[in-house]
Structure 1
Amino acid sequence: MEKLKSEWFDWIKALLIAFGLFFVIRTFFFAPIVVDGPSMMPTLHDGDQMIVNKFLYQMKEPERFDIVVFHASDRKDFIKRVVGLPGEHVAVENDTLYIDGEKVEEPFLQEQKEKMSSYQTMTGDFQLENLPGEYETIPENHVLVLGDNRKNSTDSRILGLVSMDQMVGKTSLIYWPFDRIQILHD
């Protein structure tokens, strides 16, 4: 009888440790997220399930073209791509991204641009000064984010810049659906 009690106690202890580890990992390191909507098409599809690395930005700053998750409101997280970094001026003119006046290629948009006719545009022209906040350059601890589906994305053009306090983390691993499992490269 004593052996049975000891065995049960060991099982309960092991389960409590496992749940504790799961809680710590889920809270501080990695979390699942489901893509909701078409704003990151064709890179991400509605319903794609991904893993968010929540601790990466504790060690380093976001980089251009990272795909990030951030708190857009108290109830909603968004997934977008970092386009502008602190200290930079961002503008789009004739579907071309300019950072500090220099043209920057966006290879993840190339396929979409090739499918469009010559008179269509993917991204309406804008300058950083025209966005909410009317900044001349992106302030420290902020980034400018855009969805890959520029015609159908609620991003910095509407929401304004994203502060690092709003940032949940970087995501690059699609784990479901099975036929879309992949690691996204910037």
Structure 2
Amino acid sequence: MSERRLGFTLIEATIAVLILSVILYIVNEMISSGRRGTLHGQEAADHHLAEIILSRALEKDLKRMIPCPIHTVTGDIQATVKFDPTLIAATFIQFSRFSECGIIQVQYSFDEGKREVRRLEIGSDGVLRRTDRFGTGMVTRFTLEDCSPDLDASLFWMVMEMKGKLRTTHVDKVFPSGFPAPGPARAWNFQIQ
């Protein structure tokens, strides 16, 4: 009579372990892929939301920008737009705009350390009225450029880049402003009380 073996041979055990490890590897990759897809989608949504909120705030401010020097009961207000470092690819912009409570100064600046864009509202008395932060921890590049000298229009060009763990988003947008194109058409007179 032949003897019956009760266990597995070394080759059978090795093959079983290899098959099990391949199955576990495939399951792990499927779960990781799902997590990466979820993270990628969440980063895309976060970047899109930060872009929309910043774009709407900037567009609202630029549309209400003071187009030329005006005279008010409190004194003259210059319609200067301050860019820093230059008119080309500035990371800081300041200008006056109309608001519900009068005329305010608005500043947009890029904080490279915190990776965010800041918006400050400063009242005519010099007191900080409001601070907004956009894209905290995501923005790696933010610049504004005045396209008006090159075009026959009053346009600002915003370039922004946001980075996450898996995704990089590039934003290029052009905004019209209340600032008139250079030329002889600056014969506006405002009286604000």
Give the TM-score category using the shorter length.
Answer: 0.3 to 0.5
Q: TM-score, normalised by structure 2?
A: 0.31
Larger RCO of the pair (alpha carbons < 8 Å, separation 6+): 1
Q: TM-score, normalised by structure 1?
A: 0.32
Larger Rg: 2
Structure number with the higher strand fraction is: 2
